[in-house]
């Protein structure tokens, strides 16, 4: 079974802090994605990566950056957390064509106070 | 603008009853359509995925249909169980070079005893 894990299920940070969200997949997938999910808005793509050291902006990249130093790991970074970044963050991975089925991690519920 | 709309927003049914969730999309070009189940506080899990040429696909008590002409899909749940309580998300993949996923906002289903 494909397994996508995220470093934290729940996280509380203060405004202005630098926040790291980690995602690891164990199926040698090339493609990895970061989404945020907010009530009434569905999932929105923040960043994605097709390969190590590659990154592409999604629909809402402002305030975020990413890092992919190893194939299995994709990190989302909030350089200076703000209250409007309070959300559920979901990582996903897939192989080959990105429109193949994406496998999601359990999510990280981030609260910025 | 490519969009995916789901209805109803929420639904309450009694255990053992059937229900049907709707998904209408305006995505073009179209690659495939998938339904995900998301339990509260968890990541989405794939139920079905259908390409243009498929008009029905089943996964246990879940049956998805696709009418590519009218750009509509439905997810039918038979003999509902308490464990079916979740959010059901319709996702459409753009064809062509973008390979982008367009997410619906989901239908929240509550199955009551």
Q: Phi and psi at residue B83, in whole multiples of 5°?
A: -70, -10
Which chain A positions have a beta carbon within 8 Å of B106's beta carbon? 42
Average pLDDT across chain A, whole number: 93
pLDDT band per the 50, 70, 90 thresholds, residue B30 = confident
User: What residues of B are in the A interface, CB distance below 8 Å?
Assistant: 4, 31-32, 34, 41-46, 49, 89, 93-94, 99-101, 103-106
Measured in angstroms, the CA of B43 and the nearest CA of chain A are apart by 4
Contact present, B107 and B12 (Cβ < 8 Å)? no
The confidence score (pLDDT) of residue A101 equals 80
pLDDT tier, A95 (very low <50, low <70, confident <90, very high otherwise)? confident
Cis omega (within 30 of 0) on the bond before A89?
no
pLDDT in the model for residue B98 = 64
For B47: left if phi > 0, alpha if psi spans -120 to 50, otherwise beta; the answer is alpha
pLDDT by residue (tens digit) across B43-98?
999 999 998 889 999 999 999 999 999 999 999 999 999 999 999 999 998 877 66
d(CA A97, CA A26): 18
The answer, for A93 touching chain B at a CB cutoff of 8 Å, is no
Max distance between CA atoms of chain A, in angstroms, equals 39
Instruction: Give yes or no for residue A97 having a pLDDT over 70.
Output: no
Per DSSP, what are the bridge partners of residue A12?
A111
The yes-or-no verdict on residue A96 having pLDDT over 80 is no
Question: Count of CB atoms within 10 A of residue B13's CB?
Answer: 16
Chain mean pLDDT for chain B: 93
pLDDT in tens, A15-45: 999 999 999 999 999 999 999 999 888 899 9
> Does residue A98 surpass a pLDDT of 60?
no
The proportion of chain A whose per-residue pLDDT surpasses 70, expressed as a percent, equals 96
Question: For residue B52, what pLDDT is reported?
Answer: 84
Decide if pLDDT at B1 tops 80.
no
Surface-to-core class of residue B74, CB atoms within 10 Å of its CB (0-12 exposed, 13-18 middle, 19+ buried): middle
Which of B38, B39, B43, B45 is the best mutation test for A, with the most CBs of A within 10 A?
B43
- Per-state percent for chain B, helix, strand, coil, to nearest 5: 5, 60, 40
Q: Distance between CA atoms of A38 and A61, rounded to whole angstroms?
A: 15
* pLDDT tier at A2, thresholds 50, 70, 90: low
Q: Chain B: give the shortest CA distance to residue A105, in Å.
A: 5
What CA–CA distance (Å, rounded) separates B88 from B36? Answer: 6
- pLDDT value, residue B25: 96
CA distances from A14 to A46, A80, A89 (A): 21, 9, 17
pLDDT at A40: 85
């Amino acid at each position: 079974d494909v397994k996508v894990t995220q470093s934290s299920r729940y996280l509380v940070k203060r405004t202005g802090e630098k926040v790291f969200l980690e995602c690891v997949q164990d199926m040698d997938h090339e493609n990895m994605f970061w989404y945020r999910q907010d009530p009434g808005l569905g999932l929105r793509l923040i960043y994605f990566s097709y390969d190590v050291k590659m990154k592409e902006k999604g629909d809402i990249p402002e305030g975020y950056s990413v890092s992919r130093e190893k194939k299995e790991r994709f990190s989302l970074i909030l350089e200076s957390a703000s209250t409007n970044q309070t959300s559920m963050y979901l990582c996903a991975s897939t192989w080959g064509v990105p429109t193949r089925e994406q496998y999601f991690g359990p999510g990280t519920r981030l609260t910025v106070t | 603008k490519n969009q995916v709309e789901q209805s109803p927003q929420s639904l309450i049914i009694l255990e053992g009853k059937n229900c049907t969730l709707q998904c209408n999309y305006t995505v073009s070009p179209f690659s495939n359509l998938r339904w995900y189940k998301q339990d509260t506080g968890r990541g989405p899990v794939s139920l079905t995925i259908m390409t243009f040429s498929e008009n029905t696909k089943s996964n246990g008590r879940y049956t998805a249909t696709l009418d590519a002409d009218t750009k509509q899909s439905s997810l039918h749940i038979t003999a509902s169980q308490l464990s079916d309580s979740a959010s059901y998300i319709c996702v459409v993949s753009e064809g062509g070079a973008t390979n982008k996923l367009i997410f619906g906002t989901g239908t929240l289903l509550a199955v009551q005893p």
